[in-house]
Structure 1
Amino acid sequence: MATGAWVLLAAIALALAIGLWRAATYGRFRGTHRVKGGSAPARDQPGAGESVPDAPAPAAEAVTEVGAVLGERATLLQFSSAFCAPCRATRRVLGDVAASVDGVAHVEVDAEHHLEVVRRLGVVRTPTTLVLDAAGREVARATGAPRKEQVLAAVAQAVSP
């Protein structure tokens, strides 16, 4: 086989691998990660058993910074942008979930107008959805448009004791 044919096959294989990886991860919720400025988990801090008031979670600060209020049980914090088609679908899904589950709020943040919040929370693309518990701590995050079933599962994780 000619060298050009091998290069073409390699390019096709690489494109296929990238496409499969993207399809497998797009819109999926994954566990949370450390956020810049966030405190270490309580179990890692000295005196973890002591009753000391916790500092507000960075995501909770972001919600109040944009003029919104945390939900009683959970908050769906969506970062979107004006020209983002998947953001509109995500808005619909998150709005449906917030309307159907008591105590869950949907807060949409325009990433372009809140760049400091975007940087602080490590948002790299839109749509990005953060699922916050009642205290405003990040429980899960998804980049891309999640399905309703995925959002409901993440909310269940956030509201479970």
Structure 2
Amino acid sequence: MSPGIIVLVSAVALGVVLSVLKSRFDGRFRGTRAVRAAGAAGEKEAVDDATAAAGRISAADLGTGLGERATMLQFSSAFCAPCRATRRTLVEVEAMVPGVKHIELDAESHLELVRRLDIMRTPTVLVLDATGAIVTRASGQPRKADVIAALGTAVDATSPAER
């Protein structure tokens, strides 16, 4: 075999592996560090007040109120095709689930919040509980079933006193 063939086969194999990894993780919700640590300890509340404050988003940060039970916060950009599809999905879920609010923010217009929340790409969807604590997040276009499951986690994460 010539070195050119070996390089070509290696490049194709690498491309296939990266494509499979991207499709596996793109748009999937994953928990935040604070939620994973609290879940591992068997608790439903934040690890500590400092960690909770760092992962909490207020109505002042968004310029509008939070949802009564949960909030789906979407970071988008102007020329992002998956952002439009994600918006449609989240609006449908908002109509289906009472007490849930969808808020879409332009990432370019909210750079301070984007940096604080470590948003690396659009669309990114954060699911917040009723208090504004980040329960889970997804980078890429999420499926409707995954959004509904993430909302269930957000509603369950709110303690009974806060409901």
Q: TM-score, normalised by structure 1?
A: 0.84
**What is the CA-CA distance between 1:65 and the residue it aligns to?**
2.2
Q: State the distance in 2 between where 1:108 and 1:33 align.
A: 24
**CA offsets, 1:56-93, max 9 Å, x none?**
554423x4223111101100000000000000000011
The structural deviation recorded for 1:33 is 3.3
User: Residue in 2 aligned with 1:51?
Assistant: none
1:126-137 equivalent positions in 2, closer than 5 A:
126-137=122-133
Q: Where does residue 4 of structure 2 map in the other structure?
A: 4
- Cα 1:100/1:57, change in 2 over 3 Å: farther
Distance, in Å, in 2 between the alignment partners of 1:6 and 1:57 is: 49
Measure how far apart 1:160 and its partner are.
1.5
1:8 match: secondary structure = helix
Question: Offset at 1:130?
Answer: 0.2
2:146 is aligned with 1:150: yes
Q: In 2, distance between residues paired with 1:55 and 1:132?
A: 12
- Aligned-partner Cα distance in 2 for 1:57–1:78: 19
Deviation per residue, 1:99-143 (Å, 9 max, x gap): 110110001010010100000000000000000011111111000
Mapped to 2, the partners of 1:120 and 1:33 lie a distance apart of 15
Root mean square deviation of aligned Cα: 2.0
Instruction: Give distance in 1, aligned partners of 2:138 and 2:14.
Output: 25
State the AA in 2 paired with 1:60. I
Residues 36-60 of structure 1 deviation map (CA, whole Å, 9 limit, x = unaligned) = xxxx822x98xxxxxxxx9755442
Q: Identity of counterpart residues, as a percentage?
A: 55
Shift in CA distance, 67/138, structure 1 to aligned 2, threshold 3 Å = same
Structure 1 contact 59–121 (Cα < 8 Å) conserved: no
**Structure 2 residue matching 1:118: 3-state secondary structure:** helix
SS at match of 1:130: strand
Structure (1 or 2) with the greater helix fraction: 2
SS of 2:142's equivalent in the other structure is coil
Measure the CA separation in 1 of the matches of 2:67 and 2:53: 15
**Match in the other structure for 2:43:** none
What is residue 64 of structure 2 aligned with on the other side?
68
Structure 2 gap ranges (5+): 35-45, 158-163
